[in-house]
Chain A
């Protein structure tokens, strides 16, 4: 099985936010939640870079490790998913997540956050593939349709890559070798405990 990963080539990202919009639309993501976002570093300064970030589907995922009710699971493709039926909205996954991926529909105190929502790598949830129940809770299951995550699929500059970790790392490596520079595979060191050697 492939080990699915995301890689954002920030030397290509033009901060168009189309990945953010596409994701929201594809999955009918609840109001106020952005499963993917674009962060601009050194905004307005020379060397500014933008990075599209979502759940990185970590190796030894921190969210899964700290969840008090064990509602996370990792698929055979290395995608980290969770059950909204089991989630108690305690917020621990958000505190543990290095990438700020878990989000909640409510911002109340006393732990009244509601069920956590995050990027599913377009792979749905524990419900049966491509069912109405799955779509309503987690969004479309594109992986089950044989498609890759929409954010990466429609990225106009192909900055955002999704797919087998080895293959996208190879693509990125070749790009960096050809153009002579690369700011790194953002998040890889923290998420996968290894980075793309450039």
Chain B
């Protein structure tokens, strides 16, 4: 019995003697293994997240406050938008606007005012009716307000602010911002109406190429390539206003309604860039339009003021249109200025 009893115990003791050191060494070993799990192996690294970002992306997570925008932790694109706003857009704008002004001054110095070659006839023909002129001036006046208040956002800080001082400039800019946001809708209506009433006369035609190859006769006296109601240059203005106006309207709506239409910050940055670039291009184009419609050409401004142009002016600049009008309506539509 004794031997029977001792044997298993001895075996147990032996087993214990053999296993215990293993157990003892095994427990700390597994504990050590737990400690050896490198917490950074699965830890986020900012540098890696930043590297993985593509344009327009941001590092975002979960947020416990009820403001979804706050879940964006870092959007590095703010820096590139900063550069666009601070240097790219002002440089582009200054280049386009000052460049256009310089070209116009140069053109005036060389070519002078473009006269009616055969002199004013004293007889007038209706060019733009009341609706035409209303649409033009609706678009034009809203464009001027939007242009000035918009340019104030880009250039006011460096040009107007030092002159009027910070408080007055804030009042001015705040008013300008309101004006810009509301007058924008008048401009949108103007652009849509412009498209509707004039698109039929602004479709491209092969004679536009002839007109363009002569530079519209702008640089040579007595050269008047034939044109219908609108020549290729005017068609260019029309499509600039329609396409540019559409881009301005769409991007502008995103900026006016940042909470419903605007989308995220990346979308708003994108639309503000489109808005800024197209605006500068349009201001430059419209400067040329204003020039040629006023001081640049004798007999041009009457088209949009009284709506009646001198018959000789019309014959020189819109020969085909005059022909068609006279054929359709007869000589009766031509009358002396006194009738107006």
B60 within 8 A of A: yes
Determine the distance from Cα of A181 to Cα of B36 in the docked complex, in whole angstroms: 13
Contact of A88 with B170 in the complex, beta carbons under 8 Å: yes
Q: Which residue of B lies closest to A109 (CB)?
A: B257
- How far in angstroms is the closest Cβ of chain A from B311? 48
B window 53-76: CB within 8 A of A:
59-65, 67, 69-76
* A-side contacts of B135, CB under 8 Å: none
Judge if A195 is at the interface, Cβ distance under 8 Å.
yes
Q: A37-B63, A96-B78 are in contact. Are A65 and B43 (CB under 8 A)?
A: no
CB–CB A86/B42 < 8 A: no
B82 at the interface (CB under 8 A from A): yes
Are A38 and B78 in touch, CB under 8 angstroms? Answer: no
Residues of B within 8 A of A49 (CB): 43-44
Interface of A is mostly: loop
Q: Is A157 close to B, CB under 8 A?
A: no
Instruction: State the majority secondary structure of interface residues on B.
Output: helix
A109 to chain B, nearest CB (A): 5
Cβ–Cβ contact B257 & A189, under 8 A: no
Task: Let me know if B237 is at the binding interface, CB within 8 A.
Answer: no
- The answer to whether A95 touches B73, judged by C-beta atoms less than 8 angstroms apart, is no
CB under 8 Å from chain A, chain B span 16-45:
38-45
Are A39 and B38 in touch, CB under 8 angstroms?
no
A76 close to B (CB within 8 Å): no
Min Cβ gap A104→B in Å is: 10
Are B72 and A86 in contact, with the CB atoms below 8 A?
no
Is A41 touching B65 in the complex (CB atoms < 8 A)? no
Whether B46 and A189, one on each chain, are in contact in the complex, defined by CB atoms closer than 8 angstroms, is yes
A92 sits at the interface (CB 8 A): yes
Instruction: Indicate whether B86 reaches chain A with its CB closer than 8 angstroms.
Output: yes
Query: Closest A-chain residue to B87, C-beta based?
Result: A65
Closest Cβ–Cβ distance, residue A116 to chain B (whole Å): 13
A85 touches B170 (CB 8 A): yes
Binds A, one of B7-15, B109-117, B172-180, B241-249: B172-180
Q: What 1/0 mask marks residues of chain A from 158 to 198 whose CB sits below 8 Å from any chain B CB?
A: 00000000000000000000001111111101100001000
Contact in complex: A98, B75 (CB < 8 Å): yes
Q: Answer yes or no: A69 CB below 8 A from chain B CBs.
A: yes
The answer to whether the Cβ of B272 comes within 8 Å of any Cβ in the partner chain is yes
State the Cβ distance, A63 to closest chain B Cβ, in Å.
Answer: 8
Question: 10 additional contacts, CB 8 Å, given A34-B65, A183-B46?
Answer: A42-B61, A69-B170, A71-B166, A71-B170, A88-B177, A95-B81, A109-B256, A182-B40, A183-B44, A187-B74
B residues engaging A (CB < 8 A)? 38-47, 49-50, 59-65, 67, 69-79, 81-82, 85-86, 152-154, 156-157, 161, 166-167, 169-170, 173-174, 177-178, 181-182, 256-260, 265, 268-269, 272
- Which residues of A are interface residues toward B (Cβ below 8 A)? 10-11, 15, 17, 20, 32, 34, 37-43, 46-51, 53, 62, 65-71, 83, 85-92, 94-100, 107-111, 180-187, 189-190, 195
